[in-house]
Structure 1
Amino acid sequence: MSNRLKFVLPKLVSSFRTCCILGRDIADTTSSIRDLIEIIENDDLEAYLIKVDQEKAFDKVDHDYLFLVLEKIGFGPKFMQWIKIFYNNINSSVKCNGFLTKSVNIPKSNVNAKIFQHADDTNIFTSNKKSVNETFKVLNLYSEASGAKINRQKSEIMSLGSGSITDSELDKLQIQKCENVTKVLGIYVGKDKELCELLNWKDKIKKIKTILFFWNKRDLTLPGRATALTSLIMSRRITTNNSVYRKILTNEGCLMVTLAENASLKTDASVSSILGKQVYKADCSNAHLTHIPDFPKSIKVVILDNNLITTIPDYHFRNNSKLCNISLMNNKLKVLKKDAFYGAYNLIELTLYNNEIKDVDEKFFKSIPALKYLNIKKNHFDWLKLNITFPYSLQTLRMDFKILEQDHMVDSFKGLINLKTLDISGLSGECECKTMTPETFRTIPNLIHLDISACKISYIYRGTLKFMSNLTFLDASFNFCLKFAGAENITYDLKTTSIKILKLNKIHRTFEPDTIVLKSHIRNLRHTNLTELHMDSNRIQLFEKGALSSLPLTNSLFRFKIEASNVSENSLAYLDFGFNLFYSWIGPLLTYKKLIHLDLSNNFCSNVSKDFFKSSPNLKSLLIHNNLLGFVLIDDMHGEILQHIPKLEVLNLADNRIPYLPYNFFKFQTMLKEINIGGNLLDDLSFQISHMQNLSHLDLSKNRFSSLNSTARGQLETITKSNPNLTVNLSDNPLICSCDTIQFIKWMSQTKIKFTKLQSYKCKLYNGNTELLKEPKRNRYQSSLRKKCDNEEYEYDAFISYEEEDAVFVHNHLLSNLEEDAKLKLCIHKRDFQPGKDIAANITFEIHNSRHVVAVLSQTYLESYWCLFEYNMARMESIYSRNCENMFILVSLVDLSALNLPLCVLEKVHKQSYIEYPNDPLGNTLFWDKLKEVLK
């Protein structure tokens, strides 16, 4: 049936619908929307783009409504019956090599279908606000009739051209406002073309580079490389299809861009008038033209670059009042006469770069009063001597700049009050101005972007830039005689500007000695909003101490990756990268086969790849302490990070926030002699070390060890059989002397292992006191622990965990029945906690000293942070200190619903019974008797 329908669907379905129709592509719509936005913006028309998002469009539309619409349009009963079949539990088969596959059921939502079949976005262009309101009236009627709903939270409106929309108007529509960029079917479109291009291409290029980098590592044959490119790169869709534009090559060699007649857009009358057969753009570049062709009245953009044009005839553009952009770059123009652009009153951009212009009529710019962009670089005239007056409307000026006499500077840019960008760079033109004074740019105080690179500047006086309060970009690079001492006056002036990007690249000569950056050179930048500072190619030898710290703290990200490094064959044995900001070690470090010692400490690194040490097989000493490697090492289940350095003897992993190391992390390190894992978050020696027969020192200091379990002790004893001089450092760990750790304490007194700094070891006793764990006292500790473990003495019979709102029940009922009547000793936080002691410490200590924990459950209890903290501390006490002994008694003041219980509480409720408080005289007596019995 689908094969029969596919040939007639293009005639039945409107051309506005492009998805899944033979000969159409859904990407055409995206391209058309993009191009139409460009047309509206260039013509400065009033228009609005409305993005309508339907709420679950394929679920909420009433099927009866769909059939009714088809019937009203005029489809017959037979066709209607076909369509209804698709909505009634259908099966489908695929024809492959002349045979039908086994039929499969087609569910309501087919996960294998083309994703664009589920696109429900509707994009509407309107030319005025009245049309916007009418559009939503129609949408509301459609919603009422069909059952479909408009998701106003996701629907957007963007004003285009001269259009604008106020907040009050937006509130009435109840949709979102989109400023510059929006997304249509995964493609960014909008008024900001540069931003759209960046967003559309950045991820694609990154993915392609990643794929190429990966496959480039493989030793592929030439056919293999071709296959990889064809299947992995060329198969990716990286361009769009059709658009509103249609291109025609003329006899003149110009590529005329017109507007297509069948653009896939539905518009109102005003906007559709744009879509005639008007010529929008003419590209006549590289056509070997010696004269300028005639252009139609509708022309907007003319490109005549790289030709042989020598003159612009007077009145040539007299009929081109809509012309807004013309480029005559790289031609042979000699003269600019006053009527050269007569008639082009709306010209906005003019590019005359790299011509042979020697003379310009002083009234040349009077015929183009709306000019905003002008590029007249690389020509043969002195604009000062010609007494040229630029139009006041000019916003961007790119020109050559040769000033040898300071007197001429006073009127250099007279009248350019709207100028925002000035480019006089010698890199793209000619510039010579050995000295700049406060008079140089005095008449253009509103500059935002200033490029004075390669202008042979030797000195800039203070005050030259001071009055440019809007200046955000300054490039003074390639002024070799300026030096950092000369740049000090620049940074001094920038305090009063809005500077964000400053470029001072190569302002020293290449082989000039003693290139030092002093604090005085850049200290004034602290008082700016600078986000980027470029000082490339200055061969800087030294920064004065404290110089970099004087930079503003806008985005101080001095962070770098260590990527693949290939140094020519070398005998490098010692490499110190310590105290830098190499935050990611990707590598591999190639051609470092003789490297023995590597120091990467103090780098704030949180990522190291499994190939980083691949080319350093002879490494013996690795210092990587004081980083953030705990985030990545915990995932190295098979020891792949260190697998390439089996000869390692010294490893320092201290201060890396490591909470845990996998068992096989040191799988390939059999020759290790010293391991320092101090200053981390380890509470268990979970990794294998028993195979390290040469291990002589293991530093576990400043971690979270309360003891060493039997497995860890066994590993250490195995090592002592081959190396009796093994030393272990357990200092500054919260060691515990309790019933659970008595075997650990006994082992410490009996083992042959030497414990460094033993005199400083502290041990927390069962009564909460902390004492030094010194050798002479070992027997006393063991005796005290045995007594504690044998008698099971507790200070309290029960710790009462309750929320403050349940205090009436606790104080009026629970205490009187259990303490006064039953003579039980209870711990109540308000009464029995030690003053001045940390709350968490009080809770942990008193739970440890209580035989039972009574949790008074209520809704407020389950929502209280401290109540759940007490509950979880009691769970930990039960699991780790009392061998999973049942010490919990749950008292429920309300009906417990499994939906409202946290998982930790629900687990206890399922495994153990709880007591409900009946709150009636007869039931209360039985309740208290039962509770007393359990607690005693």
Structure 2
Amino acid sequence: MHPFNGLINLKTLNLERNRINITLMYKGLFTDLHSLTELSLKGNIQDKFKPTLILDDVFSELRSLETLKIDGPANVTFGKGFRGLTRLQKIDLSGITGYCSFQRISHDMFLNMPKLTYVDVSACDILDIEEGAFGKLRYLEHLDVSHNKQLGFASLPNITHNLNKTSIRVLRGNGINCLSGIGTKILKRHFENLKHTNISEIYLEKNRLEQLEPGALRLLPNTIDIISFGENKLTQGRYILDYFFLQNARVLNISVQLRPPPYPESIFERCIEKTDVLRPNERNFVKRDTSKIRENKYKSLINEFIHRNRWHWKFVLTFDLPKSLEVLYANMSRLYRTIPEFGINATGAREIYAQDNFLYSWDGPIHGVENIKIMDLSNNFCSHISKSFLKYARGLTTLRMSKNDIGKSLSSDMEGEIFKNTVSMEVLDLSYNNIVDLSTSMFKNLERLQTLNLQNNKLSTWRVKVDHMKSIQFINLKQNRLTTFGKEAQMSFTKLFQITNLSIDLSGNQFLCSCDSVHFLEWITGYRNRFVHFNRYECSSTSSHKFNFSDAENSLILLKKNCESYLVTYIVSSVVVAFILSIIIGIVLVKNKWKIRYVVYKFKQRFKKYAFHSAIPQAESPSYEYDIMISYSPKELSFVLTDVIPRLENEARFQLYIKDRDEPLGIPLGEAIMEAIQKSKRVVCLVTRSYLKSKLQDYELNMSRMEAIEDRENLNFVHLILFPDVCNGSISIQTLDLVRQECFSEYPEEECAFDDFWETLIAHIKELNRH
């Protein structure tokens, strides 16, 4: 059988997971595949207990083969037939993509594949690798021994033996320790064989790595470009000073130091990793190095470190990093503290990723970050950022600070000092920060900003000045508390719409849809193409009108009509209500004008007493200077002199107040009248036609009545004497009101009745005084 007969131009053949028994392959199967460069037979071993042989004479026909992907059975060997595959460069035996179960790599396993540049033996349950097993592959560039959990760091000397005789560039040793256990440590002997190689990338992730022996990193060659210690459990130690000696390192990954091993695999795994067993002479060598040589090396390094911190940074703590370092991954690295003022000496650094830690207060400033382009501080539980934290971050183009709690710090920055010096900023992410308010000047210096993310905050108003951002492309205000934009904000965004391709996302906000917001709704509808997900916008539950954003134009027309009719109704109703209220208030004021005037006078009187006589004790019972106050019009003065005074004062011995006689000088007339009323036991009014026509007497009469009602609580306080010119004929309404409300008597027309009238009046007044 020749299933591939005639396929002389076939380049790639994938036979993965077809249940092909590799042992039963026969010579001549691949005869016609003259051009085949890649062959994959992964996932064809179904029964791991059944012996499987890789027949080299079958594969020897693939003269053009460059890449071979195949399962690695327990007894895997690559015989002499593979010597003819002079173009074979890559061999993939990984158990991740197929089946692999061999437990040992001998020194001659790849002896018949001398041109290999890529070897992947990851996840093969390897227990042991003989010394120099890869050292004979002079073209080897990429070696992956990851996920062979029982190898341990103790196998690194064997793995790396003679790698200096190869072209090694990339070494992957991820997960070569068990999932659970105490922290592991890299010793200098583990890296010693790499010292004279040209390796550029080394990956030792997921190894429970906690410490490195001081000096171990210094054994790595100067060609090292990428170092990854991610997903370990690194703790701070003296070894961090060795990072400075990696002068050409471009990427340092110490991220994800918090992730626990997978559950439940880490609990039930049967894994015993290889550990270092040192011979006595090796142990003594380590001891001497620790006590003398190593101490001297680090003493000079620490002295240089202190000297730099003292003079170059003016007592600011400074960390030296390789000048070639461009990217530092420190996310999820168990960093727990504030960020104080410190410096970094890494002129080549461009990107710093420190998200998902516990850097809870950003005080700074950080010196030496002028060349940093990208910084990620998201999800650090930070509640404070100082105004000087970014003082030296002039070259920063991308800054992510999402998922913190720096809203209060930002709200209190009224002058925009936090981002004052970040003049190169292009992307700023402040989402999920509990921001309630931002000042007008917050982003005043961010003229190059292209993307601003303020999603999921608590902004209820927008007053930030943005019209100077000539490069702005996108502003994310999703999931805030914005109900409308003021006219200034509308004008600012309108200017940007005219000169930029700005788009804004306001979805998740609840807009106020009412007659007061017609101008805003008209504006946002006019620029609807600039608002992301405009059709999904909604009105708040407190809105007085409905507005359908998916049919915004018709909704706007309907809203305007409703508001116009509502406005007319509102104006007419307001005028009518105001007119009615004014009438009611006028009636109430007219009806109670005397009471109001009386209350005002009493208030002024009490204020004066409090201000000038607060220390003078007041009498418990009132004392009156006059028995009777006579209220009369000027035309009745002769009657007062000829009749009233002789009768009431001379004969009856009443003390009378006669305004033309007793009125004090230098006191306003109204105040004088009120003082006379308050100093008298009774008020007697001589009511004539001229009395009723006089405004002054009207004031005396009504203020006397208010005194009777409000203070004396006795209407007998005022007594009216109605003269014949008032009583004759039909009684006027004004007179009738007086008679109904006051105590009165009529003065007789006959002279013979005068004596009886006066006697009766005097007796009546004396009777009232007794009670």
TM-score tier, shorter chain, comes to: 0.3 to 0.5
The structure number with the bigger radius of gyration is: 2
Question: TM-score, structure 2 length as denominator?
Answer: 0.33
TM-score normalised to structure 1 length: 0.28
